[in-house]
Structure 1
Amino acid sequence: MSITIASGMRLTPARLNRLAPKVARKTASQVVNNSATFVNDTALSVPVEANALYKAHLYIVQNSNTTADFKYQFSAPAGTTLTNWTFMSGNTANWTTIIAPLGGVTGVNGIGADSPLNAWGIVAIGASGGSFTVQWAQNTPNVSDTTVKAGSFLELLRFA
């Protein structure tokens, strides 16, 4: 994204802020126990502008056992589309490698230890702004803790 500054135009904080990445970072771990119902992550949510394109990077360190596993998806304003998403995990037993439509579920098999995952892609926001939020849960309800660890982050960089 480039900025054109015409003669006499003021470079305001609002114009500069549009160039800064939107970053949400977890400062405390969050636990789900015995539930396959998606919950909004308590920290991994960023505001998005209407009709904007963002390059996104999600980094999560999760810990889930081999029965519960781990799944995630995104919640976003109506009309949002996700394209060209790639997924990589420290756990090689991935379920899927591409996220296509908004509401598409991706996850990894639990290994009972901390396991990082990364996802990258393009987020195209529709006619309404709002929040872009990570949602996650156990894939199979299990009386054990599934945790998204502190230090996980979501970053969006607007490019159009």
Structure 2
Amino acid sequence: MVAFSDIVAGNTIIADELRDAILDTSFRVAKTSDQSVSSATTGSTLVDDTQLIAPLSVGNARYIMQAGIRYSSNSTADIKFTFSGPSGMTMVFGGPTIDLTTSTASNFAEAIAPSVLTSGGTGGTVLVTLHGSLSTGATTGNLTLRWAQNTSNAGTTTVSNFSWLQVWRIT
């Protein structure tokens, strides 16, 4: 974490310190195109999202994460999510998902990466918001959304344009 001057009456905050304190602690990325899978491509084998990737540039640090995942899938294929990161990373994530049986909103579900969180397909586009907390070991690297059809199916499962990922370093 970047150290900067105490903020008290009479102290001058140096612009570089303020910039570093703000910019060094968060990273945001949004998808600019759709990415699709089906049984003809990868089926239920997890793939790295090609755009939802955030650098974890400080080792031995804690981060929080939020992601808005816009996806479409049929009710047979559904979808599953997890995250990968550098060696030594531990992560807990979750959020409200779509029930696999009823295709309606369900309660909050939680997973410990690399375990997966599943969400149902409705035939239309759905937005699921995931939240997480993670810590890195000494190794730095990237946090990457991984996803696939939950059940391999000829139908297309797509993570859509305007999905996003944001990561904040908190220690």
Q: TM-score range by the shorter chain?
A: 0.7 to 0.9
CA spacing shift, 1:3–1:139, aligned 2, 3 Å: same
Measured in 2, the distance between the counterparts of 1:152 and 1:112 equals 18
Alignment RMSD: 2.6
Identify the residue that residue 27 of structure 1 maps to in structure 2. Answer: 32
Number of residue pairs matched by the alignment = 156
Which has the higher Rg, Structure 1 or Structure 2?
Answer: 2
Q: Work out whether 1:18 is the aligned partner of 2:24.
A: yes
SS of residue in 2 equivalent to 1:147: strand
- Over residues 125-159 of structure 1, what are the superposed CA-to-partner deviations in whole Å (9 max), with x where a residue is unaligned? 11100010000000111111100010001100111
Identify the residue that residue 141 of structure 1 maps to in structure 2. Answer: 152
Identify the residue that residue 126 of structure 2 maps to in structure 1. Answer: 115
Report the Cα offset of residue 116 of structure 1: 0.9
TM-score by length of 1: 0.86
CA spacing shift, 1:129–1:113, aligned 2, 3 Å: same
Identify the residue that residue 61 of structure 2 maps to in structure 1. Answer: 52
Q: Which moved more, 1:42-51 or 1:86-95?
A: 86-95
Report the Cα offset of residue 5 of structure 1: 3.4
Identical positions, percent? 31
SS of residue in 1 equivalent to 2:91: strand
Measured in 1, the distance between the counterparts of 2:66 and 2:129 equals 7
Alignment partner for residue 153 of structure 1, among 142, 164, 167?
164
